Amino acid sequence: MDVNDKFDLILDKLSKVDKLDEVVERLDSIEQKLEEHDKKFAEYDKKFDAIFAKLEEHDKKFDNIDMQFKSINYRFDMLLKELKSDFKKIEEKFDEIDDRFDEIDERFDSMNVNVVFS
């Protein structure tokens, strides 16, 4: 190999080194873009955290409302049972009054007196 060939070989290798510089520049550019994306994702993470925090607040509110509804429902059920019991007592009283009227009617029938209740 003569000197010119050696120079050409050296120049060829140096041109490959220049190409490596281009690759390094591209990698730097890619790394910069990745850092930008990381920043955006960090912002999105913060936004998602805020959204989830609000959702948790709403879940707590809904749980509280659910407990209140259950309490009201229980109280309503108890009132309904009391009303049924009261209506049963009233019905028994009406039955008792009806029986007494029947007794009175029988007494008057036995006396052959017609009495009209109005």
CA distances, 99 to each of 34, 79, 95 (Å)? 94, 30, 6
pTM of the model: 0.48
Q: What is the largest CA-CA distance in the chain?
A: 157
pLDDT of residue 116: 62
**DSSP structure class, residue 90:** H
Tens-of-pLDDT digits for all 118 residues of the chain?
788 787 778 777 777 766 777 778 889 999 999 999 999 999 999 999 999 999 999 999 999 999 999 999 999 999 999 999 999 999 999 999 999 999 988 887 777 656 566 5
* Residue 47 DSSP symbol: H
DSSP assignment letter at 114: -
From CA 115, how far away is CA 107, in angstroms rounded?
11
